[in-house]
Amino acid sequence: MVAEGMETVNGNRSGDAGLKDWMVGLEVKMTTSSGDVNKSDTLKDASNAADGAHVVVLVRTATLAKVEVVNTTPEDKSAVVAALRRPLPPLPWEQIREREKVSNAIIRDYQRRHDIGIPDRGVEVFRALSKTLPCRWGPQDSIIILDTLRLTPPYTADDLKAIENDVSALSRVKLVLEKERAKLFTS
């Protein structure tokens, strides 16, 4: 598939999306608008690869500046077309949903670590505490400390509560929190 306004070397040009017979099994050299060059086969049948691994390269056509056909005679076009028409295996939906949950959690953690949507005081307290204590962001902009304590906004010692009944950790972290807040907010 070729993007509008993109140069082609062999004169074959397709403005519409869809598989064209002449595309199957060709070796192409793609040059992006930033100058990167990638050489690969188009729609090659990898179902009989020795190790069962498949390499898939997805390219946004909007980023391509030039597509050059390197080899115009694919070895066995009919075998590739037949392989493309075989039904796909079923998708492992449970694994996909689990990966989605993990990815969303990573994104939320990234956003919080980079101050997206968190009050300034919370970010300052989080950074100060995380220098010496294991901390992570919890629900409703709370800070989870040592996996046993929760600090909620406005992030004072009175807002620190034990998730589990860990009184020694609570008193120790309260002292650390008070000292860190004194350094941060009294200057």
pLDDT tens-digit profile of 47-78? 555 666 666 677 778 888 888 878 766 566 67
Work out whether strand 7-8 and strand 37-41 pair parallel, antiparallel, or are unpaired.
unpaired
**If you write DSSP's letter for every residue of 32-59 in order, what string do you get?**
ETTS-EEEEESS---TT-TT--------
- The confidence score (pLDDT) of residue 17 equals 43
- The confidence score (pLDDT) of residue 64 equals 84
32 forms beta bridges with 64
83 has pLDDT over 60: yes
CA 186, 128, 132, 145 torsion-angle sign: positive
85 has pLDDT over 70: yes
- Give the right CATH number for 7-85 from 1.20.1300, 2.30.30, 1.10.760, 2.60.40: 2.30.30
- The confidence score (pLDDT) of residue 124 equals 87
Q: Which residue has the tokens 């949950």?
A: 101
- The confidence score (pLDDT) of residue 45 equals 56
46 has pLDDT over 60: no
98 has pLDDT over 60: yes
Residues of the chain with CATH 2.30.30: 7-85
- The confidence score (pLDDT) of residue 185 equals 82
Task: Give the whole-angstrom CA distance, residue 52 versus residue 32.
Answer: 30
- The confidence score (pLDDT) of residue 9 equals 44
pLDDT in tens, 112-138: 666 666 777 888 899 899 899 999 888
pLDDT in tens, 131-180: 999 998 888 888 999 999 999 989 999 999 999 888 889 999 999 999 99
- Decide if 157 contacts 178 (C-beta within 8 A): yes
- Decide if 105 contacts 138 (C-beta within 8 A): no
Q: Beta strands of 130-182 (E only): which ranges?
A: 135-137, 143-145, 149-151, 160-162
- The confidence score (pLDDT) of residue 28 equals 80
Task: Give the whole-angstrom CA distance, residue 90 versus residue 47.
Answer: 15
Does the model's pTM come out above 0.85?
A: no
Dig out the tokens for 187 from the structure.
Answer: 């200057």
